[in-house]
Amino acid sequence: MLTPQDSEWMAQALRLAERGLYTTSPNPRVGCVLVRDGKVVGEGWHERAGQPHAEVHALREAGEAARGSTAYVTLEPCSHHGRTPPCADALIAAGVSRVVVAVQDPNPQVAGEGIAKLRNAGIAVESGLMEAAARELNIGFFARMTRGTPWVRSKTGMSLDGRTALANGVSQWITGPAARRDVQYWRARSCAVLAGVGTVLADDPQLNVREIETDRQPLRVVLDSKLQTPPSARILEEGNVLIYTAMKDEAKIAALRQAGAAVELLPDGDGQVDLPAMLRDLAQRGINEVLVEAGSTLNGALLRAGLVDELLLYVAPQLLGDAARGIAQLGELTALEQRIDLTWQDVRQVGADLRIVARVKGK
């Protein structure tokens, strides 16, 4: 039976898990609290892939006090030998008597086996406490494990009338400094930032995390069907760039590789990059969350293909007028059924702008 105290301890485990927001990738963010006689005897969170899991940190802190305790874990304890040994075994060996789990691990190597292992050892296990919050924290990991593609979040700065740039392309500084700084946090938590070659040619951006401290830079991904990225582009300077193309031009590919980029050929037969194949390839590389920072062409293509899960919109209190560019080229819709339906996930003010997170319905 679950009690209100159980919820409090699980909330604490979730807060611990959140500390891994910027570091655990490709692993999930996981927290663990060990409680005995109403007191915390150990706590931990997963910091980095290859390092101990949340449970192991908590068990180390608790030592002998772990015996007879209840473990609150935001993800089912693992049962497999990955980079580290199974946490289920560690909990059993430490003599933990009850385990409360927020959500089952979607990793097919675990998927219920961790819970089964604990139960077989005579430990009482309850699962599903604060499940929604635990899934939310690892939305990308769940997407990669269950559907084989990352969670795709598309960011745009726009005016109140949904415009991103004047018709002549002038777009700098629609949103304010607070919004731009906020974007850095979304980049930092993402495993990859994706842009189209149009953005690379127009703005020559670096697409790395700046202004805020981070231990880990996301992979920068450029969608470049015709290999137009110049080897001198600033984005190539620090390495850690992957270019997807549809063009088998050996000389250009060699030049980009020479400039430090990885180049992957994924043609769709129409001269474009095969977008679903690109997302599957990113998932295979361990990418959980992708932040798309693209113009209306790529945003439109991704949205029309049903590949965007979430929009991250910064809305500036301005009107840019009819002739200005919109956030996504969707073509002309002739029936309302063709619209893309969204739900508001989060709305708040960031500096002088509004920040809206909207989710595509059904994602």
Catalytic residues: 55
The option from ligand AOF, Zn ion, none interacting with 83 (CB < 5 to 8 A, set by class) reads ligand AOF
CB of 36 to ligand AOF, least distance (A): 20
CB-nearer residue toward ligand AOF: 58 or 253? 58
Q: Which residue has the tokens 């700098």?
A: 172
CB of 200 to ligand AOF, least distance (A): 33
Label residue 149 left, alpha or beta by phi (over 0 means left) and psi (-120 to 50 means alpha): beta
78 scored as a contact of Zn ion (CB under 5 A):
yes
71 scored as a contact of Zn ion (CB under 5 A):
no
The option from Zn ion, ligand AOF, none interacting with 182 (CB < 5 to 8 A, set by class) reads none
Closest CA to 101 of 84, 118, 86: 118
CB-nearer residue toward ligand AOF: 16 or 266? 16
Q: How would you class 170 by CB atoms within 10 Å of its CB: exposed for 0-12, middle for 13-18, buried for 19 or more?
A: exposed
CB of 87 to Zn ion, least distance (A): 3
Q: 73: helix, coil or strand?
A: strand
**Is there a contact between 117 and 265 (Cβ–Cβ < 8 Å)?**
no
CB-nearer residue toward Zn ion: 109 or 349? 109
53 scored as a contact of Zn ion (CB under 5 A):
yes
Quote the CA–CA distance of 346 and 104 in Å, as a whole number.
26
123 scored as a contact of ligand AOF (CB under 6 A):
no
**Partners of residue 45 on adjacent β-strands:** 31
Show contacts with ligand AOF in window 6-35 (CB under 6 A): 27-28, 30
Written in H, E and C, the secondary structure of 255-306 is HHHHCCCEEEECECCCCCECHHHHHHHHHHCCCCEEEECCCHHHHHHHHHCC
**Is there a contact between 174 and 321 (Cβ–Cβ < 8 Å)?**
no
User: Residue positions in the annotated binding site for substrate?
Assistant: 171, 187, 203, 207, 210, 293
CB of 283 to ligand AOF, least distance (A): 13
How many residues bind ligand AOF (CB under 6 A)? The answer is 18
CB of 145 to ligand AOF, least distance (A): 7
**Is there a contact between 74 and 103 (Cβ–Cβ < 8 Å)?**
yes
**Is there a contact between 27 and 2 (Cβ–Cβ < 8 Å)?**
no
CB-nearer residue toward ligand AOF: 28 or 196? 28
Quote the CA–CA distance of 188 and 194 in Å, as a whole number.
13
Quote the CA–CA distance of 216 and 23 in Å, as a whole number.
7
How many residues bind Zn ion (CB under 5 A)? The answer is 3
At 160, list the tokens.
């109140």
87 scored as a contact of Zn ion (CB under 5 A):
yes
Quote the CA–CA distance of 199 and 288 in Å, as a whole number.
23
220 scored as a contact of ligand AOF (CB under 6 A):
no
CB-nearer residue toward Zn ion: 53 or 189? 53
Closest residue to ligand AOF, Cβ-based?
82
Show contacts with ligand AOF in window 59-78 (CB under 6 A): 75, 77-78
Contact residues for ligand AOF, defined by CB under 6 A: 27-28, 30, 46, 49, 53-55, 75, 77-78, 82-84, 87, 105, 107, 110
